[in-house]
Amino acid sequence: MASITTSGAHRGATVPPSPTARVGGGKRIRRGSARTFWLFAGPFLAGLGIFVYVPVGWSLYLSLFQAQNTVTPTKFVGLANYMDILTQGPFTDSLWTFTVFAVIVVPLTYVLALALALLVHRIRVARAFFRSVFFIPTACSYVVASMIWKLSIFNGVRFGLANTVLGWFGIDPIAWIGTVSPPWYWMVLVTVRLWLQLGFYMILFLAALQEIPRELYEAAWTDGARPGWQTFRHITLPQLRTTSVAVLLLLLIAAYQAFDEFYNLLPNTPYARPPLVYLYYTALGQGQDFGHGSAGALVLSALITIVTLVQGRIFGFGKADS
């Protein structure tokens, strides 16, 4: 009887797995996790290598050669292409064009997007409707919007929308795009960019506003702070610090990459050509100078990286809010 009871107790007890079984199971789990990782990340990494790193490496190769009308050059010129684009006028002029564009667009977009987000955040009725209305232009193509601005709103004729409004105040029609002095084309370029991107950054600010605890405002009101500028300055704006830095970084990078509106509104003009438009005409124009075009593209990429890192360093991007 004792032997039977003992064997029954052993059958009912839980036997711990052996160390060998635990090691084998851990290896199987790790192999399964690795397969899952490569299954999901593999296509992305392959696309990143094929469509990003390989072209960048090939651009670096072309920038060291005299490559006109060919992508398999044989004449090595070293850093001559870089010296040419940095000392000659067109590329540096395009950087000045970008600077003017960024100085106008970045602050305007930041202020207007934040203002729209504050207004929509305060609305208690049909908030989803207003979010959609302001965000819809983001889905519009830059090319389509540029054509509408050029052919309908700022077309320069008397019956264009902008000149019709000016006519109500007795102002003569303005040739918006063809006039260099004064440079009215900046009005066209800036307004189309604002219309296209305001909604996106408004949504970012709106999401950040919804994450601010209401207890902070209630504590401020209890301490005597007035609703409005005081609470915005001392509570809302500091709480939006991380989002503000991210928005400024995205706006600056987007300004560097401006192409569609300039290309479609000002076709191959000697003025107001940002870097990407200049590089497009250099590499894909009649000369097809891939050497200088590649050098300019790499210089522009380096500038974007440096400016982004410096701006992130100044504003403390990635640091926790104090």
Place of tokens 């199971």: 25
Counting every residue written for the chain, the total comes to: 322
CA dihedral 171, 176, 182, 185 (to 10 degrees): 140
The whole-number average pLDDT for the span 141-165 is 88
Nearest-5° angle of CA 105, CA 320, CA 209? 55
**Does pLDDT of 96 surpass 70?**
yes
pLDDT digits (tens, 9 = 90+) for 16-43: 555 555 555 566 767 778 888 888 888 9
Burial of 210 (C-beta count, 10 Å sphere; 0-12/13-18/19+): exposed
Structure tokens at 29: 């789990």
pLDDT digits (tens, 9 = 90+) for 53-75: 999 999 999 999 998 888 888 89
* DSSP-assigned letters across all residues of 193-229: HHHHHHHHHHHHHHHHHHTS-HHHHHHHHHTTPPTTH
Select from 251, 240, 304 the least CA-distant residue to 275: 304
pLDDT digits (tens, 9 = 90+) for 189-239: 999 999 999 999 999 999 999 888 888 887 877 777 777 788 888 888 888
CATH class of domain segment(s) 80-315 = mainly alpha
CATH 1.10.3720.10 segments of the chain: 80-315
Q: How many Cβ atoms sit within 10 Å of the Cβ of residue 283?
A: 20
Select from 213, 234, 212 the least CA-distant residue to 223: 234
Task: Give dist(CA 288, CA 71) in Å, integer.
Answer: 10
The whole-number average pLDDT for the span 140-168 is 89
The pTM for the full model equals: 0.78
